[in-house]
Structure formats: structure tokens, C-alpha cells
Amino acid sequence: MTGSIHDGEAVAAIRRANDMLSKEKLTWESFFSELTAGNFTIPDGRRPKEKPLEPTIKEMFEVCLPKVKGPPREFLQSIYRFWGENDYLTRKQESALRKFYDNIKR
């Protein structure tokens, strides 16, 4: 936001950053000095939470194909064949596969 073309927005962002530094008892100079020296760490309570990795299409098929039976399996196999022939799934196909996967993983 400091790069905003709107001066008020840019100034507000810089003031917010100054407040954040002040709360940590840092100056811009000390912040960049620590950062470039590799001494800056993010406090544990402020670390962004890591998102779990989404399964790949291949992984979803590997989980679903052995477990789905009956007519739903035929549908799933048709999606699998389409993926094998085209190397992609439509949004609807991927959504259907994900529903199978999510139901199995519950």
C-alpha cells in the first residue's frame, strides 16, 4: 500500500508500519540491519498458518478408485478416462472428483 498512487493511502500505510516497528521497539534502520544480517525472525504467535497442501488429481483418483463401488464408480472411471486422454478435467469433473475424495477422507 505504500506504493499506492493515492497519497493518503500511502501515508497511512507508512504510519501503520511505523506503529508496528515502534511496538517492537525497532527503528527502520535497526529493522533493515537485522533483516539484511539474517537475524530477523517472526515471533511464533505471528507466524502465518501453513495451509495444508491440496491433493493432486492423481492423488484423489488413487484414493477414490479403489473405494468407490457400483454406478458411482462407473462415473468416476469415466472422469478418470477423460483425464487420461486429455490431461485435464473440466471444473465440473474436478468438483465431482473432489466430492468423492472429501467423502472418503471424512
> Are 62 and 94 in a shared domain?
yes
Does residue 2 lie in a domain region?
no
Does residue 52 lie in a domain region?
no
Does residue 98 lie in a domain region?
yes
Range of the domain at 38: 7-46
Q: What is the pLDDT of residues 54-92, one digit of tens each?
A: 899 999 999 999 999 999 999 999 999 999 999 999 999
**Number of domains into which the chain is organized:** 2
Task: Read off the pTM.
Answer: 0.52
- Burial (Cβ within 10 Å: 0-12, 13-18, ≥19) of residue 10: middle
> Are 68 and 35 in a shared domain?
no
Does residue 17 lie in a domain region?
yes
pLDDT at residue number 46? 60
- 95: helix, strand or coil: helix
How many other CB atoms sit within 10 Å of the CB of residue 87? 8
